[in-house]
Amino acid sequence: MRVSNKYLAVAYAAVILSLPLGCGGGADDSPPQQDDIESRRQGESLDSVESRWKRAVKDKPTGITSTVELSGSSIVLTTRGQAQVDAPGVLVPAPAFPNNQRCVFLTNAQVGSQTGLLVLEGPQIQFTAGTLGSVDVGSATARTQPPSGSTTPVVGLTTQDNTSGANPTAIFPDDWSGTDKSLFFSDAAVIHASNLTLTGFTRGLLITATGNTPITGSVTVSSAERLYWDAKSVIQVATSTVQSPAFALGGEVEAGALASPELSASSQPPSMIKGKQAEVTLRPGNVKSQGSFQLTQGVTQQGEMLLPADVESAYDTTPVTVKKGQRVLIPVVFREKTLKGDAVLSELQVTGPGKDAVSVPLDRVETYLESLWTTAGQTGIGAPFLAIGLAPLSPFIALGEALGCLFSTCPRAFPIWMETGKVERFHIIVQGKVPPGTYEATVTLVGHNYTAQAIPVHFTVTE
């Protein structure tokens, strides 16, 4: 059974947001000092060094100013952004759980003098006039291959559900049986529809407080506030410009260039880039930034990280004691120092006689970044950036551990993909699951683009 992404996110957040995150330096509103950037001082507490390092980078810009234009058979942009979507275009609803029904739902839809819930069913619904307005976008794909049933290549947009609250409900006629479930499990997208003319649907229905009106042929929507459909549905347009506060971009790149005063000229375009504050225009087989953006990382055609990073950690080496069957958390403060390139983890190693009692939780990457890898893998895109693994190298906090956090300190995870300039802490978990005695172990964080961090762990297990 597949459940809407929104409901999964809410359920997960309900657990995680209730977890105590443990002690830390927290926010520090005091003014920055010239020596805040220094490494840990002798005898300085971890709270102090974390607070000082955070002050040192507060409000400082990150990334390097860049422009990009790339072309290729299939290029994907994943983001938390918005795009202006005007006619002409096509709405392609994906089969919705649980009845594989292909529907589009528009809420507060004004049709003539009536306002209500408009539902249109069909595999492809054209919008020939008007606009969807600014739409929350999760991804945009620019391919040279036309979609099924068409001879013209398009840009495909997927919407993103940034809404809160429950989906709307409605009572449907008997011949629309199951449509209420499709609506319940749909994902939403905020839109700003105006004078939108829709055609090509197999049937339609406008549900208002006073009754139901069948819709046939075509319909013009004077305004509508939200679009509900399956998360895999696509808006097809000839071209699209996406405003991206944060984004990842990659695919089967064949030509083009990434340019920056801080980068050496390269004869090959990157396989993938990650950045922020971008405006990107996509056409079939081509993507181009409008003006500059802040590049924070990339992957070359050889599968190597484009920007170096510099990771520093601070920790206590005092031995800890843990009772058999219990656990102790050892805090480690870390930072990325360059303020230019994200730091990406390659391998987590735990070695030494006490390794079986020591573990490190690893955090998942940003959703939009993970989405690029997932989309490329699912569509069979062959791209060098896929050699950089994003799957957790050790299990993240399992559900049982997360529920245990409700009654104790929850371990903080180390990021697989660390944003440049980040200052935070993670925990090394020591569990009393080895025979009583004194042990040593070493946790080594091996980076794709930073020097390995080796952290010694000394502990005693008692009865």
* Rounded (to 5) percent helix, strand, coil in the chain: 15, 50, 40
Of residues 309, 127, 109, 284, the one with CA closest to residue 201: 127
Structure tokens at 362: 């690893």
Estimate to the nearest angstrom the gap between the alpha carbon of 162 and the chain centroid.
12
Q: Parallel, antiparallel, or unpaired for β 453-462 and 320-323?
A: parallel
> Percent of the chain, pLDDT > 90?
80
Residue 387 Cα distances to 1, 57, 313, 460, angstroms: 31, 31, 27, 39
What's the Cα-to-Cα distance from 310 to each of 25, 92, 387, 420, rounded to whole Å?
Answer: 21, 45, 22, 9
DSSP per residue, 125-145: EEEEEEEEEEEEEEEEEEESS
Distance, CA of 180 to chain centre: 29
Strands lying side by side in the sheet with 453-462: 320-323, 453-462, 437-447, 343-351, 417-418
pLDDT at residue 24, rounded to an integer: 55
The answer, yes or no, to whether the previous bond of 98 is cis (omega within 30 of 0) is yes
Please, which pLDDT band fits residue 1 given cuts at 50, 70 and 90? very low
Output the average pLDDT for the chain: 90
For residue 435, CA distances in Å to 6, 26, 38, 213, 430 come to 45, 37, 41, 73, 13
pLDDT number for residue 407: 58
pLDDT-based confidence at 20, cuts 50/70/90? very low
pLDDT value for 35:
80
Instruction: Classify residue 33 by burial, with Cβ atoms within 10 Å: 0-12, 13-18, 19+.
Output: exposed
- Strands 343-351 and 417-418 come out as antiparallel
Indicate yes or no: pTM above 0.85: yes
pLDDT bucket at 405, cuts 50 / 70 / 90: low
Distance CA 41, CA 457 (A): 20
Choice among 32-41, 290-299, 426-435 with the minimum mean pLDDT: 32-41
Query: How does DSSP classify residue 385?
Result: G
pLDDT tens digits, one per residue of 126-182: 999 999 999 999 999 999 999 888 889 999 999 999 999 999 999 999 999 999 999
Mean pLDDT of 35-56: 95
Please name the fold of domain 5-60+309-361+396-462. Answer: Immunoglobulin-like (2.60.40)
> Per-residue confidence at 382, pLDDT binned at 50, 70, 90?
confident
Please state the φ and ψ torsions of residue 42, each to the nearest 5 degrees: -60, 125
| Number of Cα atoms under 13 Å in the Cβ half of residue 92 | 17
Q: How far is CA 243 from CA 67, 84, 102, in A?
A: 15, 9, 28
Three-state DSSP state, 392: coil
Sign of the dihedral defined by the CA atoms of residues 29, 30, 32, 35, in that order:
negative
More confident call, 166 vs 378: 166
Tokens standing for residue 304: 């190597």
Q: What is the pLDDT of residue 401?
A: 52
In percent, the amount of the chain with pLDDT more than 70 equals: 90
The conformational region for residue 460 under phi > 0 = left, psi -120 to 50 = alpha, else beta, is beta
The structural domains of the chain, with segments of one domain joined by +, span 5-60+309-361+396-462, 89-237
Structure confidence by residue, pLDDT tens digits, 198-250: 999 999 999 999 999 999 999 999 999 999 999 999 999 999 999 999 999 99
pLDDT at residue 26 in the model: 55
Q: Taking 70 as the threshold, does the pLDDT of residue 123 lie above it?
A: yes
First to last CA, the chain: 45
H-helix or E-strand spanning residue 85:
strand 64-86
CB 181 within 8 A of CB 115: no
Report the phi/psi class of residue 399: left, alpha or beta, with left for phi > 0 and alpha for psi in -120 to 50: alpha
What would the pLDDT profile of 78-115 be if each residue is shown by its tens digit?
Answer: 999 999 999 999 999 999 999 999 999 999 999 999 99
Tokens of 452: 């390995």
pLDDT for position 28:
63
- Which pLDDT band, with edges at 50, 70 and 90, does 11 fall under? very low
**Can you read off the two tokens belonging to residue 215?**
């819709």
Q: How far apart are CA 340 and CA 450, in angstroms?
A: 13
Q: What is the pLDDT of residues 298-313, one digit of tens each?
A: 999 999 999 999 999 9
